[in-house]
């Protein structure tokens, strides 16, 4: 088995971008143009981390990870590291996490719910990355 990437590390980010661009066609992504910043609270290292994903006409154009202030996205989703890790491992659906209060959304909720299928496709690809949490 391939070496595992540390979750949200630069190598994880590089693998995520490559996989998302390879596996998700504009058609599968409904030609959506959007962006989101996921804010990870209570991380194991004591820092606050982010994952930023941007799509233009259904093509994933940008994936960034880091600490501090994330790039501005159409949506800002805030939750615990463990909640996002469970979503990335495909143990918890993002929509369920949002509707049960495990995630907080800043942005248009109706639009976010319409994009739930797209988010699920992103998370399904991310779940395939060999990851050390």
CATH number of domain containing 48: 3.30.1050.10
Sheet-wide strand order for 59-67: 59-67, 49-56, 34-41, 75-80, 103-106
Contact 73, 54 (CB under 8 A): yes
Residue 73 falls inside a structural domain:
yes
How far, in Å, CA of 12 to CA of 117, rounded? 23
pTM of the model: 0.93
Residue 133 falls inside a structural domain:
no
pLDDT at 1 over 80: no
Range of the domain at 98: 5-126
Confidence of residue 112 (pLDDT cuts 50, 70, 90): confident
Residue 74 falls inside a structural domain:
yes
Number of domains in the chain: 1
Confidence of residue 2 (pLDDT cuts 50, 70, 90): low
pLDDT of residue 120: 87
Contact 123, 109 (CB under 8 A): no
Write the secondary structure of the chain as one string of H (helix), E (strand) and C (coil): CCCCEECCCHHHHHHHHHHHHHHCCCCCCCCCCEEEEEEEECCCCCCCEEEEEEEECCEEEEEEEEECCCCCCCEEEEEEHHHHHHHHCCCCCHHHHHHCCCEEEECCHHHHHHCHHHHHHHHHHHCCCCEEC
pLDDT of residue 42: 97
Residue 131 falls inside a structural domain:
no
Residue 15 falls inside a structural domain:
yes
Tens of pLDDT, residue by residue over 44-100, are 999 999 999 999 999 999 999 999 999 999 999 999 999 999 998 889 988 899 889
Residue 132 falls inside a structural domain:
no
């Amino acid at each position: 088995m391939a070496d595992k990437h540390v979750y949200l590390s630069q190598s994880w980010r590089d693998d995520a971008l490559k996989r998302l661009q390879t596996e998700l066609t504009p058609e599968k992504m409904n030609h959506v143009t959007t962006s989101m910043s996921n804010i990870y609270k209570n991380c194991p290292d004591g820092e606050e981390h982010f994952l930023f994903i941007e799509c233009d006409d259904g093509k994933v154009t940008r994936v960034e990870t880091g600490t501090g202030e994330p790039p501005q996205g159409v949506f800002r989703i805030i939750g615990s590291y463990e909640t996002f890790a469970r979503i990335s491992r495909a143990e918890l659906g993002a929509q369920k996490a949002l509707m049960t209060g495990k995630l907080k959304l800043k942005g248009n909720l109706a639009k976010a719910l319409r994009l739930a299928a797209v988010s699920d496709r992103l998370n399904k690809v991310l779940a395939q990355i060999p990851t050390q949490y």
